[in-house]
Amino acid sequence: MLAFIFKRLGQSVLVMLAVALIAFIMFRYVGDPVASMVSQEASISDQELLRERLGLNDPFYEQFFRFILNALQGDFGISYRLQTPVAELIMSRMPATIELALTSATIALVFGILAGVFTALNRKNPAAAAIMAFSLIGVSLPTFLIGIGLIYIFAVELQWLPSFGRGQVIDFGWWRTGFLTETGLRSIILPAITLSLFQMTLIMRLVRAEMLEVLRQDYIKFARARGLSKRAINFSHALKNTMVPVITIAGLQLGSIITGALITETVFQWPGIGSLFLSSVAVVDVPVMAAYLIFVGFVFVVVNLIVDILYYVVDPRLRVGAAKGH
């Protein structure tokens, strides 16, 4: 077990390094850092001086090493656009995104799995057909359209829920939460639903397909031949076997909720890192882009690690070796 964790950690470090490399290349070579920092009138010699001071003439690997060192200490440079340290920017906006992502992920997982199991077990049921139809629409609707639609119905026409912002927030140390106020809770509903819809339909279809596949297997037929009850077959045998592949894919998908929240954040003007990234892309604010890339890489690596460990725990074929004896 320990060897397995070490191996995965090693791979994770490698992936992070690769991501850091790409981020660094972007950071250094896209656009001109010096030109973005100084005013128009600075002379060539002044620019050269600045270049020297910033260490921009040093060899590649030295700069890369410095980049990594800085990153590990939380220093990602200064945003071109806002002239504030990038790390500060990201930290201040991260709680908003994380809360939104967690809420959406919960909704997507719970409803997705329930709907998936239901439609797999009750294929002829009209409700199941309706859910499948709904899921197809869910995959065909762009997230931003869903957001706009929901705002129009619930915020403008019915006036039940707010149409933008986080509502009132409370500070917990450096974490700023919206969960503890009424307006905070009401504000998160529409964005969370919007963000979760796509993932929910994906998970639902995945669970359904996997479960149908499992139900076709020989061991299910053998279980029926032994007279086991329907509940035992569906929820003990079939469900357990379905969950194994679902865990991996669902886990990866959910990792992408955090990073993919930017559309929803834009539509709802949610002050998270997604919308930060978007505005930085529009003006090519490279330090923010690079930092966001590293953040995304980190999320991906952590999610992958957790998923791999879960997989290892759930599937006995990975834990114990194969047959001995005859």
Partner 1 sequence: MSQPVLSVKDLSVVFHLRRGDFTAVKSISFDIMPGEVLGVVGESGAGKSMTGTAIMGLIDPPGEISSAAITLNGDRIDGLDEESLRKIRGRRIGMVMQDPLTSLNPLFTVGEQLIETIRRHLPLNQDEARDRAIALLADAGIPDPASRIDSYPHQFSGGMRQRVVISLALAAEPELVIADEPTSALDVSVQAQIIKVLKRLCAERGVAVMLITHDMGVIAEAADRMIVMNKGEIVETGSVGDIINRPKMDYTIKLIEAIPSITAQNPRYAAAVAKGHSFASERTGDPLVVVENLAKQFDLSGSLLARITGRRKIVNAVNDVSFTIQRGQTYGLVGESGSGKSTCARMMVGLLPPSGGTVRLEDTDIWSKGAEKKRRSKIQMIFQDPYASLNPRWRVGEIIAEPMRALGIARKPGEIAERVADLLERVRLDPVSMRKYPHEFSGGQRQRIAIARALSSQPEFIICDEPTSALDVSVQAQVLELMSRLQEEFGLTYLLISHNLAVVRQMADAVGVLHNGNLVESGPVEEIFGAPKADYTRMLLDAVPDISKVA
Partner 2 sequence: MNDITPSAPKSRLARIIDSDIFYSYRTSPVAIVSSIVATVLILAAVFAPWIAPYDPFNPRTLNLMNGFTPPMSESFSGSFFLLGSDHQGRDVFSAILYGSRVSLMVGLSAILFAMLLGVTLGLIAGYRGGLTDTIIMRIADVQLSFPSILIALLIFGIARGIIPPNQRESMAIFVLIFSIGLSDWAQFARTVRGTTMVERQKDYVSAARIIGVKPVFILIRHILPNVLGPVLVIGTIGLALAIIAEATLSFLGVGVPPTQPSLGTLIRIGQQFLFSGEWWILFFPAITLVLLALSVNLLGDWLRDALNPRLR
Q: What does the binding site for partner 1 look like in residue numbers (CB under 8 A)?
A: 7, 217-219, 221-230, 232, 236-237, 240-241, 244, 314-317, 320-326
CB of 170 to partner 1, least distance (A): 44
Which span (51-59, 173-181, 298-306, 310-318) binds partner 2, by CB under 8 A?
A: 298-306
* Smallest distance from partner 2 to CB 226, Å: 24
Judged by beta carbon distances under 5 to 8 A according to partner kind, the member of partner 2, partner 1, none in contact with residue 296 is partner 2
Q: Which helix (H) or strand (E) holds 170?
A: strand 170-172
Total binding residues for partner 2 by CB under 8 A?
39
Task: Spell out a b/e string for 162-200, using b for 16 or more CB atoms within 10 Å of the CB, else e.
Answer: bbebbeebeeeeeebbbeeeeebeebbbbbbbbbbbbbb
Exactly one of 50, 82, 98, 148 binds partner 2 (CB under 8 A); that residue is 148
**Nearest-angstrom CA–CA distance, 179 and 218:** 48
Q: Are 261 and 275 in contact (CB under 8 A)?
A: no
Least distance in angstroms from the C-beta of 46 to partner 2: 23
Q: Which of 81, 67, 69 is nearest to 27 (CA)?
A: 67
Our CB check for partner 2 shows the closer of 45 and 159 to be: 159
Distance CA 169, CA 153 (A): 25
Binding partner of residue 136 among partner 2, partner 1, none, CB cut-off 5 to 8 Å per kind: partner 2
The amino acid that residue 194 corresponds to is: T
Nearer to partner 2, 77 or 255 (CB): 255
154 near partner 2, judged by CB under 8 A = no
Q: Which helix (H) or strand (E) holds 262?
A: helix 262-268
Residues constituting the chain: 326
> Taking CB under 8 A as the criterion, which residues in 219-278 touch partner 2?
252-253, 255-256, 259-260, 262-263, 266, 277-278
Stretch that binds partner 2, among 95-103, 177-185, 223-231, 282-290 (CB under 8 A): 282-290
Taking each continuous run of H as one helix and of E as one strand, the counts in the chain are: 15, 2
DSSP class per residue in 120-148: HH-TT-HHHHHHHHHHHHHHHS-HHHHHH
From candidates 6, 60, 65, 152, binder to partner 2 by CB under 8 A? 152
Comparing CB distances to partner 2, the nearer of 216 and 317 is 216
- Dist. CA 159–CA 186, nearest whole Å: 12
Residue 173 CB, nearest approach to partner 2 (Å): 29
- 158 counts as binding partner 2 under rule CB under 8 A: no
Task: Show the tokens assigned to 140.
Answer: 């065909």
Binding-site ranges for partner 2 (CB under 8 A): 15, 26, 30-31, 136-137, 139-145, 148, 152, 156, 216, 252-253, 255-256, 259-260, 262-263, 266, 277-278, 280-282, 284, 286, 289, 293, 296, 300, 303-304
